[in-house]
Structure 1
């Protein structure tokens, strides 16, 4: 183990012990500059080993997601590759659900090269970007707009989504537990995703590797309900075994995608 790897492992241990540790405290503990600790925290956050917060590092929260602006730039290259790979499995001339999240948004960007899609979404970012760049038929579910990320939620959203039966659903999730539970933070968001799951002929889950270590408290569904899981690294053995048992396909996006 290199000195950098040893320090980063010790940072993770300190965070697990204390819950949250400031950049200054870590710099003092390890005798390095605050710039070095910032780099360490950024790398550890990208690996999903801790959460990067303003001023330090902490344990992943089970009750609150990372700020949307931060999620948009975190692992952006990996999300683009996941989006590109998932889009290749969606044919032109079909209907698609796209739900809330930065990785589903990455899929939407890659679908702009397709022809004649009908897209039903409760994500205003998806609707606006596709409307500006394509001639797709776009249906936006009614409901209440969540200002911080453009999500459309509520009973009216679920009512709208339930009126459609589509070919492919593209969903994201904030966490995947070791027992195969798909997890998220917001109950209203989860209700919309559950409606999408019930109304799709095939379901694609798109999520980067950091979701393997996050444990939000609201259950969306289970990995067994997914047809194909698109991610950027192999899942942990227990999740891989569940996927194999239930016939869930796995597609891993790498630097070539």
Structure 2
């Protein structure tokens, strides 16, 4: 499902408040309740929202949102995050970049950097950076997932372990309240763990929706992250968790 601007605003409103009534959504979006119900029905079929007694909320499923839908969610926030990351990446450094829509925006933001050496298991990242004549791109071997062009598997992990890079840039599906970083695909998680191990410094790119979101597979802990790039101030409950983990937070306003 490709969301229109009104539906994106509706989803964002629900994500911020967890649950809302149809009437509240209609008032906030300045549309009729009938329009809200029609949008919610379509988004429920796409597993983006769920209808509960008395309101609309996020689905309780631990399944990830479809890749094409993730590309449209918080796209402006992801671009801001990517721009902030690009400001911190020095020319001439080596990078490991994993699977994700935010890391793909980072690749676009690095289009004019010089002397980069990038190892990635993301064919979309590789294609984006291949247009930069001053960037060397190294693609990991393994099994290609058709839905997002990510490369996973034991061969991917073995390949990544040949390298030791300056910065690993990783995306994530969930930052849990206990400081654990989680995702939905165990194979993807294992590759991301290898990237963390082979990086002298690890940067996490995550928009505000990732805070408190639920995902099944534990990937790492915030204490393994050097810098978090996000688009909004973390929720109050996460501030102390980040501080205890000694994570530097860069907010891309």
Q: TM-score, normalised on structure 1?
A: 0.80
Q: Distance in 1 between matches of 2:89 and 2:44?
A: 34
Partner residue in 2 for 1:142: 141
Q: How far does the alpha carbon of each residue in 1:90-146 deviate from its partner, in whole angstroms, 9 at most, with x for none? A: 100010011000011111110111101000000000001111243311111100000
Q: Distance in 2 between matches of 1:132 and 1:34?
A: 47
**5 Å matches for 1:205-220?**
205-220=204-219
Q: Distance in 1 between matches of 2:107 and 2:214?
A: 26
1:249 maps to 2:248: yes
Q: Secondary structure at the match of 1:64?
A: coil
Shift of 1:87: 1.2
Shift of 1:11: 8.6
Partner residue in 2 for 1:54: 46
Q: Distance in 2 between matches of 1:10 and 1:175?
A: 17
Shift of 1:229: 0.3
Count of residues paired in the alignment: 227
1:12 maps to 2:19: yes
Partner residue in 2 for 1:72: 71
Partner residue in 1 for 2:88: 89
Q: Distance in 2 between matches of 1:38 and 1:222?
A: 40
Instruction: Specify whether residues 53 and 250 from structure 1 end up closer, same or farther in structure 2 by C-alpha distance, changes over 3 A only.
Output: farther
Question: Are the equivalent residues in 2 in contact too, given 1:62–1:216 (CA < 8 A)?
Answer: no
**5 Å matches for 1:1-257?**
12=19, 32-37=32-37, 53-54=45-46, 57-58=49-50, 59-254=58-253
Q: TM-score, normalised on structure 2?
A: 0.82
Shift of 1:236: 2.0
Partner residue in 2 for 1:17: none
- What CA RMSD, in Å, does the superposition of the two structures yield over aligned residues? 2.8
Shift of 1:61: 4.9
Shift of 1:240: 1.5
Partner residue in 1 for 2:4: none
For structure 1, the residue ranges without an aligned partner over 5 or more in a row are: 15-22, 42-50
Shift of 1:55: 8.1
Question: Are the equivalent residues in 1 in contact too, given 2:113–2:135 (CA < 8 A)?
Answer: no
Shift of 1:233: 1.1
Q: Secondary structure at the match of 1:72?
A: helix
